[in-house]
Amino acid sequence: MTSKYKYQMVIQWSDDDNCFLVGLPDFPGQQWRTHGDTYEEAVAQGIEAIESLVISYDTLGDSLPEPRSAQAVA
């Protein structure tokens, strides 16, 4: 499973939610975008969320945010 988009995903286990939470820090808005019961499911859900956001931005005519580099995150 690959994605042509270069956006970051933050995947973190949540004891409170009993699942892996997925954040997309390059996109403004809520801290956690999606989740998965397994790490692999969280990755798949994160990719789907990124692809949906790209479609939404395109539909609205909005510019996509620039993906942050690894150096910008550190």
Q: What is the pLDDT of residues 23-54, one digit of tens each?
A: 999 998 878 899 999 999 999 999 999 999 99
* Across 3-7, 61-65, 67-71, least confident range: 67-71
Sorting pLDDT into bands at 50, 70 and 90, what band is 8? Answer: very high
Would you state the structure tokens that stand for residue 43, as one six-digit string?
């990755």
**Beta bridge pairs of residue 23:** 10
Torsion, CA 74, CA 68, CA 24, CA 1, rounded to 10:
-100
* pLDDT for res 3: 67
Task: Provide CB contacts within 8 A for 33, sequence distance 6+.
Answer: 22, 23, 24, 27, 46, 49
Averaged pLDDT for residues 11-31: 93
Confidence (pLDDT) at 31: 80
